[in-house]
Amino acid sequence: MKRLLLCLPLCLFVSALFAQTGDMQSIIDQEKAAWIRHQVSERTGQNNAVNRSDQHYSRFRWQVDPAVHYIKGEVMTVFEPLENLSTLDFDFSAALTMDSIKYHGQTLGFLQGTGDILTVNFPAVLPALLPDSLTFYYQGAPTATGFGSFATELHGPDNIPVMWTLSEPYGAREWFPCKISLDDKLDSIDIFITAPEAYRAASNGLLKSETSLNGWKTAHWKHRYPIATYLVCMAVTNYVTFENLVPAGEDTIRVLNYVYPEDLNAALTGTPFIVSQMQLYNDLFGVYPFKNEKYGHAQFGWGGGMEHQTMTFVTNFGYELIAHELAHHWFGDKVTCASWEHIWLNEGFATYLSGLCYEYLAPQYWQNFKQQRIDNITSEPGGSVFVDDTTSVGRIFSGRLTYAKGAMVLNSLRWICGDSAFFNGVRNYLNAPGIAYGYAYTKDLQFYLEQASGKDLDGFFADWFTGQGYPSYQLNWSEDDFHHVIVNLGQQQSHPSVPFFELPVPVRFSNAEQDTIIVLQHEFNGQSFTFDLDFAATDVTIDPNLWLISKNNTIQQVSNTEEEVLPGLRFRLLPNPAHGHFDVTLQLDSSLDVKMSLLDMSGKVLENKSLHLPSGPQTVPFELKNYPAGTYTFVLKTDRGQVSKTVAVF
């Protein structure tokens, strides 16, 4: 299969790569749409069920016909009360009809209260921490929101019916009784989907059987990994199926594809890319988390894709789309964000991993991938990765912040920690007890990156997770005949929430034949650095490999010639233009009394320094004390005379 991937025509590969801008936006749009449903329900007084139990297992039996917008269901759920209780709430759409609820052979009473909350009444108090079960019998036409959740429509030239679900983040209650939360996964599930015999049903886990009876076919899917409620899925239509096989050490991971017949050729062309993508993720982050079952694709009618656990739903088989959704099985499925405020842990990682496919498998596109996202991030001056307003759908699913900035913050973390520590730390995060196959916050990721790298990342996360904006750099440099280089590095911030971004800034010095990268540990504004090169540099580039998020960087080469301004005294003033700070570097033949002044354009003296300097090289710093941008005059005076220079401040 690997040879098949490498032998695909280049034109098909390029076409797949450049088709993904729309696919990524579709992913964002579909998730926004799901949140719109949630926000509408909250505005009408609907809430989630109170978290008073730990859900363990569900057996789903669903009967559907893609030609009819209707579901008939039986859901048996095993739960463990977290306290003594006589009632228990479940999330369940008021648009559906609950026929009955059975508990140990008894029919229970229930109340469909305000909003989509179903309250079940037990005949006696259930003791805490003792697992129990009940079974729901229901039916109805799920709410037609127009955004997914439970959809029936037509596909192909013959208008074949198709039915599919998309529940992120709260849509599951629209088609089955459940407990929606981001802190309690089902430990395992069985799914039985009965549909007209002409169709096939796709779902989570392993396909155990397909049996036919009286014109109906029942597919049994078995999933034995923890799963968040919003990742439970089904899709039914006249699918054709085929497999890709991914070698993984001594094992082979099956990729099962459920495809519309009219799109079979496109799927046969696009899905082989999954082989090298999964092998890359296996190498970097550990073997595919659900390897004992399968990975899969099922086509559905929404633009983009949805990372349903072990069975991603996709609209097409574009390169970046399948890379993004596959990545979610490590970041989003195996480890799920514990709060929607931290959704970048799902979407930032998935976006970055799709970029890693370019870096490792198609490096000619890697630089462009990073530059496009940096350009998007810096198109506005503010905005944090942390979602500070979970009532705003646009904020939660911001392509600029949650996806692009989330991805490039990870890229910067990789630069700061180093490749080995970054990937080791992320693997440890994915496999940590209580996090693996569970939920995580940003602080969890920070902890494991700090453990692996030995670095304190508090400042970084304050600047880049909760802080807003980005830096712009002003670099002035000079080089003498012996290739001794002096660099002065200034920084401006796009947003006041971050007073200074402390970062290691890579700078490339080059000429037509040689180049080298010097890393400047930038700790304060106007910081000066000195070092020697092995060659004469003619060009300087800030962050040539795009490890950092920055914009509007400027570079200026200044003269290195020391000026013979007065007998026995030479000096330089760097940087000029200056921001916040400049240095006066002097060379004296003998000790001397020196007076230095800074004047504004009206001649008003702003700063005075009177110094007795010994012979030899000396450096005197001048702080600009937030003086406004403009032109100033620097005056140096001794008993041998005086000289003045113009200083530009920005």
Q: Which class for 135: exposed (0-12), middle (13-18), buried (19 or more C-beta within 10 A)?
A: middle
Q: Which pLDDT belongs to residue 463?
A: 98
CATH code, domain with 274 = 2.60.40.1730
d(CA 352, CA 4): 26
First to last CA, the chain: 58
Q: Which pLDDT belongs to residue 528?
A: 84
Residues 207 and 253 placed together within one structural domain of the fold: yes
d(CA 263, CA 244): 16
Residues 9 and 70 placed together within one structural domain of the fold: yes
Dump pLDDT digits (tens) for 230-250.
999 999 999 999 999 999 999
Mapping DSSP onto H, E and C, the string for 514-540 reads CEEEEEEEECCCCEEEEEECCCCCCEE
Q: Which pLDDT belongs to residue 563?
A: 56
Q: Which pLDDT belongs to residue 34?
A: 44
Residues 106 and 207 placed together within one structural domain of the fold: yes
Look at residue 45 and tell me whether its pLDDT is greater than 70. no
pLDDT band at 29 (very low <50, low <70, confident <90, very high): low
Percent of the chain predicted with pLDDT > 90 = 72
Q: Of the given ranges (73-87, 190-204, 479-493), which has the lowest mean pLDDT?
A: 479-493
Higher pLDDT: 302 or 78? It is 78
Higher pLDDT: 480 or 268? It is 268
CB count within 10 Å of CB 480 equals 13
Higher pLDDT: 286 or 626? It is 286
Helix H or strand E segment including 24 = helix 20-43
Residues 543 and 584 placed together within one structural domain of the fold: no
Q: Which pLDDT belongs to residue 602?
A: 84
Q: Which pLDDT belongs to residue 11?
A: 39
Domain encompassing residue 427: 340-466
Q: Which amino acid is at 215?
A: G
d(CA 132, CA 130): 6
Percent of the chain predicted with pLDDT > 70 = 91
Dump pLDDT digits (tens) for 255-291.
999 999 999 999 999 999 999 999 999 999 999 999 9
Give the orientation angle of helix 319-327 with respect to helix 10-18, to 10 degrees: 60
Look at residue 39 and tell me whether its pLDDT is greater than 70. no
Residues 294 and 347 placed together within one structural domain of the fold: no
Dump pLDDT digits (tens) for 138-191.
999 998 654 568 999 999 999 999 999 999 878 899 999 999 888 899 999 999
Residues 193 and 314 placed together within one structural domain of the fold: yes
Q: Which token pair is 235?
A: 């899709």
Give the sign of the dihedral formed by CA 114, CA 115, CA 121, CA 126: negative
- DSSP reduced 3-state for 477: strand
pTM, entire model: 0.84
Q: Which token pair is 312?
A: 């991603």
Residues 576 and 509 placed together within one structural domain of the fold: no
Residues 449 and 300 placed together within one structural domain of the fold: no
pLDDT band at 588 (very low <50, low <70, confident <90, very high): confident
CB 498 within 8 A of CB 537: no
Residue that finishes a domain, picked among 278, 299, 334: 334
Q: Which pLDDT belongs to residue 26?
A: 57
Residue that finishes a domain, picked among 557, 573, 596: 557
Closest CA to 217 of 238, 200, 241, 240: 200
User: Looking at the 3D structure of the chain, how many domains does it have?
Assistant: 4
Q: Which pLDDT belongs to residue 10?
A: 34
pLDDT band at 31 (very low <50, low <70, confident <90, very high): low
Q: What is the DSSP letter of 369?
A: H
Q: Which pLDDT belongs to residue 113?
A: 78
Query: Which residue is associated with the tokens 């033949």?
Result: 589
CATH code, domain with 458 = 1.10.390.10
Q: Whole-number mean pLDDT of the chain?
A: 90
Look at residue 390 and tell me whether its pLDDT is greater than 70. yes
Look at residue 560 and tell me whether its pLDDT is greater than 70. no
Residues 194 and 259 placed together within one structural domain of the fold: yes
Look at residue 535 and tell me whether its pLDDT is greater than 50. yes
Dump pLDDT digits (tens) for 354-389.
999 999 999 999 999 999 999 999 999 999 999 998
CATH code, domain with 566 = 2.60.40.2550
Q: Which pLDDT belongs to residue 510?
A: 97
CATH code, domain with 479 = 2.60.40.1840
Query: Which residue is associated with the tokens 């290739």?
Result: 483
Residues 404 and 491 placed together within one structural domain of the fold: no
- At CA 222, angle to CA 216 and CA 226, rounded to 5? 140
Q: What is the DSSP letter of 335?
A: B
Residue that finishes a domain, picked among 309, 334, 359: 334
Residues 549 and 637 placed together within one structural domain of the fold: no
Residues 217 and 87 placed together within one structural domain of the fold: yes
Q: Which token pair is 268?
A: 């046969």
